[in-house]
Amino acid sequence: MAKTIFNTPLAPAPIGPYNQAVLANNTLFISGQICIDPATGEMKNASLEEETEQVMKNLGAILANAGMDFSHVVKTTIFLTDMHQFALVNGIYGKYFSADFPARETVQVSALPKFVNVEISMIAIKN
């Protein structure tokens, strides 16, 4: 099986032994993204809205680097540290999809890298 590694400076550099995304056959697996601003390396987390927007921008940059966009996404996983924040995160997340929404699960976890409030990973299919 051939696989292609994707890393772009338009999304945060991995903070561990992994890549931003791996394309295997026609399936792109995107590692969980948090609210790091790739231009500054700083956290964009003054509010949960800002945090979620930065996560989605990071995911969009990785998709673009692989020649895709949000319409190619078939599956997402959202990790939250507080399920009471679900509606707010869901509203921002939903703005990035226009139709044919991907499959998804949302789970509450006790902590996330760098103690952020939200992390999202994606799987996309390249046509």
pLDDT in tens, 70-127: 999 999 999 999 999 999 999 999 999 998 899 999 999 999 999 999 999 999 999 8
pLDDT in tens, 35-69: 999 999 999 999 999 999 999 999 999 999 999 99
Percent of the chain with pLDDT over 70: 100
- Please tell me the class of the 3-125 domain: alpha beta
Residue 4 has pLDDT above 80, yes or no: yes
Q: What residue ranges do the domains of the chain occupy?
A: 3-125
Q: Give the closest residue to 124 by CA, choosing from 79, 62, 38, 37.
A: 62
pLDDT score, position 1: 77
d(CA 82, CA 51): 14
pLDDT score, position 15: 85
pLDDT score, position 106: 98
Two tokens, residue 94: 């939903």
d(CA 87, CA 50): 15
Residue 33 has pLDDT above 90, yes or no: yes
pLDDT in tens, 7-28: 999 999 998 899 999 999 999 9
115: left (phi over 0), alpha (psi -120 to 50) or beta: left
pLDDT score, position 107: 98
